[in-house]
Amino acid sequence: MGDPRIGKHLLREEGEVVVDEVTHHWFAYVRPGLLTALALVLLVGSWLVSVHVAWFLIIAAVLLLVRAGWLALGVVRDRFVITNMRVFRVHGVLSQSLATMPLSRILDISVKKPLHGRILGFGHFCFESAAQEQGLRDIRYVGRPDDRDLAIQRVVQRAGLRGPRVPN
């Protein structure tokens, strides 16, 4: 249920291999976790109030749990993949969206690390390309963003898309 099946999107006949498959940092689950905690508080509170109010609290708790589960499943099914030929993102729960960008179209990658992201080890990617309206512009809650940025830069360099190769 949580696996978006990255392998079916690879161009194996062309020699495409996965360099890095990026799942979200655990911080992306904070919002669903807080909704779940609130739902549990409402469920416990339903035991302490009259029956006429308890049904409302139980319904609200169930709705919050469904929303939290939906948000968590959306986070689990959102993957950002770096290959030797391109970067792509697969996301969606019931319907799946695929956004892809060849390495040659990446003009710039901005890594934004808010204070709490620097402390906890995550950041956000912002891709600049010739076509700005795609599903790859913002990738949020990327764990180890500096390492991932370097991985993309290495793949771009090895592909010979940016300047001359420097001998080792």
For residue 165, is pLDDT > 70? no
pLDDT of amino acid 154 = 87
The SS3 call for residue 7 is helix
**Percent residues over pLDDT 70 in the chain:** 90
Is 109 part of any domain? yes
Long-range contacts of 125-131 (CB under 8 A, 24+ apart): 125/80, 125/149, 127/87, 127/101, 129/101, 129/105, 130/105, 131/105
Does any domain span residue 3? no
What distance in Å separates the CA atoms of residue 100 and residue 130, rounded to the nearest whole number? 13
For the residues 131-141, what does the mean pLDDT come to?
75
- Establish if 168 belongs to a structural domain: no
- H or E element, residue 112: strand 106-112
Tokens representing residue 2 in the block:
């949580």
What is the extent of the structural domain holding 100? 17-160
9 CB-near residues (< 8 Å, 6+ apart): 81, 88, 90, 98, 100
Q: Is residue 67 part of a domain?
A: yes
Is 12 inside any structural domain? Answer: no
Tell me the pLDDT band of 161, cut-offs 50, 70 and 90. low
131 falls within a domain: yes
Query: Is 90 a domain residue?
Result: yes
Q: Residue 90 is encoded by which pair of tokens? A: 């697969």
Residue pair 14/77 in contact by the 8 Å Cβ criterion: no
**Residue 35 has what pLDDT?**
97
Q: Which residue has the higher pLDDT, 5 or 70?
A: 70
Summarize the confidence of residues 28-42 as an average pLDDT: 97
* pLDDT digit string, tens, across residues 67-121: 999 999 999 999 999 999 888 999 988 888 988 888 888 878 889 999 999 999 9
More confident residue, 4 or 18: 18
User: What is the model's pLDDT at position 104?
Assistant: 81
Separation CA 119–CA 121 (nearest Å) = 6
Q: How many structural domains compose the chain?
A: 1
Residue 35 located in a structural domain? yes
What is the percent of the chain where pLDDT is above 90? 49
> Residue 94 is encoded by which pair of tokens?
């019931």
CATH at 111: 2.30.29
- Helices within 17-108 (DSSP H only): 30-48, 51-76
Residue range 130-157: mean pLDDT, rounded = 83
The whole-number pLDDT of residue 24 equals 93
Q: Give yes or no for residue 132 having a pLDDT over 70.
A: no
Q: In the 8-state DSSP scheme, what is residue 93?
A: S
